[in-house]
Structure formats: C-alpha cells, structure tokens
Structure 1
C-alpha cells in the first residue's frame, strides 16, 4: 500500500460518492490507474463496501443503547445462537466480544424506550445471560466511520 492508495482511502472515507474524475484529481492520478487501485483495494478486502450514512434522528432512531451482556456459557453453540440473533435484529448495529467485566457489547438503535423494551424482551428470550445491563446515550459527542490511516504499513 503506497501513498496513492492511502489518499484514495482517505477521500473515499470522507465521501464515496465522488466521481472517478473528482477522486482521481484529488489523489493526483489519472482515472484508469485510480480505478484499478480502487478495484484492487476492494479485491483485497481493504474496502469492504460503499454505503450511505443516515442521520438516525431523521429516520426515527433517536435512542442509542449500549447493552452489556454477561454469560456463564462460553461455548460455540451458545455464541452461534447469539450471533444469529444479532444478524437478524436490525436494531443491533454493532456487536463485540469483550475482555473484562462484560462478555459482549451491543450497540442498539431504536426510536424510544418502548421500542427498546420490546427489543430487550426478544433479546433475553434468545439465550441464557447471567446479566443484561443497558446504558443510554444522552448525547453523541463524536461519531465517525473513518478509520485512522496513519498506521498503514507500506
């Protein structure tokens, strides 16, 4: 990965709707080499997908909940069932296996507390948790989907 690839990634993270002509100009390449590099980055899995970022308030998802899960079951079958539930639940936008006090962490987006309560009831009926606790975001202080590129190995 060289400086051109890094520039392409920087620009696409900021706005993947740029035309090839705009992107090529910004990174200092002609269109054909720029396009080939994008295709290679996609083939390598560096660029996983290109998406539109939505305003959660505009789509009636004003409540962000971080759900901390603890379990006494640490086996592949249990994890598989929880992962399957997470894949099927559109409210879960992020799902992590954690170290420390919490075994798993979910980020959940819902319109309001009533919707969260309905989600919670579906969640706890899925698998055996020893503890489920929720933290409600009061204000989003920073949100970015851009990953830092300073750590890329050349």
Structure 2
C-alpha cells in the first residue's frame, strides 16, 4: 500500500501523525491543497486501513504514572494453552502499554507504565500468579529520550 501513496497523501499523513486536532481546512492549507480533496483522501486512507484510529496522547508523568519499566520475559512454556493464558493476562492489564514477542534469547518484552515501584511489584505479582514464567527482568527507564508514534514516511 505504501507504494500507492503520492506526495500529497504523505504530507497529509505526516500532518495527521503530528496532530489530528486542526480542522480539515487547516490541514489542507498546511499541505498546499484545498479542503475537499484532503477530506476525500483522509476518508479513503481510513477505508484502506492506513489510518486505523485517532487518540489523545496523555502526559503520563502529569497523571501520576512516573515509572516506566521494560520487562524482559523468558518462558519455558511454548504451548498454545500457555500462550493463550499469557496473552489474556497481558490484554487485561492496563499497565501494559506494549507487548512484543521476540526472536532471540528473550521471548517477550513489555512496556509497563505505573505510578511507582510498588505498583510495578503489584503488577508483577498478579502476572506470575496467573501464568508460569521462567525468568523476568525488569528495567526501569531513567529518562525517556524519544517517544513517538509517527512513522518515517
């Protein structure tokens, strides 16, 4: 699908990745087009699944979620039942912002956002009470240097 994007589509997507709150008229002006073609292109990109949803990005620190942990998980279990239980446990926990299955020595990495270390421990205890995990390493992020949802179009 990326090969079917022309320069105007890319400009629109770059603008929307920065901020979706401006009006269609303002977006059209910023990308050098008029309102109707921009609105039609956005509608078509939604229909094609290029734009999947629009969300508000909240300030975690301002809301009291000051601790960000990256959790490395190794498991000795690889059967379908374990994986189903593990994925269910992750999906039910709002603290888990991201979860990835990896190639290599680590099976999964999670990004977990909580108020503090005590809250992380509560998350950890709940997780290991539901699923058997061979090894867990939690890494506390000392400083967020870069965080973006924008793709390099």
Size of the alignment, in residue pairs? 149
2:137 aligns with 133
Unmatched runs of 5 consecutive residues or more in structure 1: 150-154
1:15 aligns with 19
Q: Aligned-pair distance for 1:106?
A: 0.4
TM-score by length of 2: 0.94
Deviations 1:111-137 (A, max 9, x none): 001111100101111211111110000
Off by >3 Å, runs of 4+ in structure 1? none
**Alignment partners' CA distance in 1, 2:29 and 2:120:** 46
Q: Aligned-pair distance for 1:77?
A: 2.3
**Alignment partners' CA distance in 2, 1:112 and 1:6:** 40
Write out aligned runs for 1:138-153 (5 A): 138-149=142-153
SS in 2 for 1:102: coil
Q: Aligned-pair distance for 1:57?
A: 0.6
Unmatched runs of 5 consecutive residues or more in structure 2: none
TM-score by length of 1: 0.93
Instruction: Supply the RMSD in Å over aligned alpha carbons.
Output: 1.0
